[in-house]
Structure 1
Amino acid sequence: MAKFLYVYHGSGKMPATEAERKAATDAWTGWFGKLGAAVVDGGNPVGMSKTVLPGGKVENNGGSNPTGGYSIIEAKDIDDAARKAKDCPMLAMPNCSVEIAPIINMMG
């Protein structure tokens, strides 16, 4: 099995109320439960990013495609990883997506 990086993009907002937090946690826990042992690292949400451009200029705009978080998942190939991502709770939010990339093991 290969490892894949899921990068969550979009304008998903952190839940504001306790009920919203519980619903979000339950959705992610349920999805990870369905994935089972394929979840290598459930990951975390991330904060607003900065982009360092050639020449050292820094933009504080969160990037052209803001990252909301990440996970690492095992799958037999990238198509299997894409199938596994189809039920991701991130996709229930407007204008959100899951970018999938294979993790290349450079250390053997």
Structure 2
Amino acid sequence: MPQFIFAYHGGKTPESPEEGAEVMAAWKAWFETMADALEIPGAPVGMSQTVSASGVAADGGANPISGYTVVNAADMGTATEMAKGCPMVVSGHGSVEVAEIMEM
């Protein structure tokens, strides 16, 4: 079955331990809806740097990644439907870039 990477952009730092617990519960619930389709839960990532021919941008560039997940899905349409349930998308605090992982 094809695999797809979800590259997360944006997000919001929780303002309290209670809000942090709510955010984690939302992610756990979303991951549970994906069941066996969830191949690699992934993780949030730290600050990034963008490397190009003109140098290194220490601020992560125009749209830095904030985390990733790898899922199994029949096709791009199925994968994008799954991504719509992402807590960052639902809350309006971020977006998910979906791309098929190509076999080499």
**When the two structures are superposed, what TM-score results if normalisation uses the length of structure 1?**
0.89
User: Counterpart in 2 of 1:74?
Assistant: 72
Q: How many residues align?
A: 104
Q: What is the RMSD of the two structures over their aligned residues, measured on CA atoms?
A: 1.3
Unmatched tracts of structure 1, length 5 or more: none
Q: How does 1:5-16 map to 2 (within 5 A)?
A: 5-10=5-10, 12-16=11-15
Question: After superposition, what is the alpha-carbon deviation per residue over 1:61-97, rounded to whole angstroms, capped at 9, x for unaligned?
Answer: 2211121100001100011100111111011344521
1:67 is aligned with what amino acid? I
Q: Percent identity, please.
A: 41
Tell me which protein shows more strand as a share of its residues.
Answer: 2
Deviates more, 1:23-32 or 1:86-95: 86-95
- Residue 18 (structure 2) pairs with residue 19 (structure 1): yes
The 5-angstrom pairing of residues 1-108 of structure 1 reads 1-10=1-10, 12-55=11-54, 57-94=55-92, 96-106=94-104
